Amino acid sequence: MEAMMDAYAAKAGELQEETDMMLEVPKGNFSQTALNAVVDAFNDALDAMGFEGDYPEFTSDQNALPIEFVRGLAMMSDAAAESESGVDIDLEGVRSDNDLALLASKLKRLAASPKFKAMMADDGGEPATEVDITVASAPEDLMMERA
């Protein structure tokens, strides 16, 4: 069982690496101040989604956004599009503090968007119903159920 779990974990890691390679990682000269403005807005949007907005602040200037932050921003971009909030979050072309300021502004607008909040509050459909799961104790029981 442990070997199977290890194999699943390894496959999940491979899939995450493949996904990460498809993401565009913004590169430029980003100041700590501009980066943390984006983090604050990102955390506000996470809160609006019903998640704990706890992405940590940056402690120094950066030349590229960390991949885990890019993953979160890509998720936010998808959620913005799905909610039809009118907020377009695109990381393409983010290369400067001015670009980060625009991104932070868009994330703040998304967090305040009524359409976005409504979609995040919606459970997505029908209420869950109880499912009866029974385990047959013998092959004969399975045959009896079919009759």
In the prediction, which pLDDT does 135 show? Answer: 41
In the prediction, which pLDDT does 82 show? Answer: 93
> CA 29 to CA 48: how far, in whole Å?
29
Domain boundary assignment for the chain: 2-146
User: Sign of torsion, CA 32 37 40 41?
Assistant: negative
In the prediction, which pLDDT does 3 show? Answer: 72
The DSSP code sequence of 48-97 is HHTS---PPPPSS-EEE--HHHHHHHHHHHHHHHHTT-S-----TT--SH
In the prediction, which pLDDT does 19 show? Answer: 56
In the prediction, which pLDDT does 120 show? Answer: 84
> CA 62 to CA 31: how far, in whole Å?
7
Q: Is 45 helix (H, G, I), strand (E, B) or coil?
A: helix
- 127, two tokens: 């209420």
**Which residues make Cβ contacts (< 8 Å) with residue 101, sequence separation at least 6?**
34, 37
In the prediction, which pLDDT does 24 show? Answer: 83
- 14, two tokens: 């491979």
Q: Going by DSSP bridges, is the β-strand pair 27-30/62-64 parallel, antiparallel, or unpaired?
A: antiparallel
Q: Can you give the pLDDT of all 147 residues of the chain as single tens digits?
A: 777 666 666 655 555 555 555 688 999 999 999 999 999 999 999 999 999 989 999 999 999 999 999 999 999 999 999 999 999 999 999 999 999 999 999 999 999 999 999 888 874 433 333 433 334 444 444 445 445
The residues pairing with 27 across neighbouring beta strands, listed in sequence order, are 64
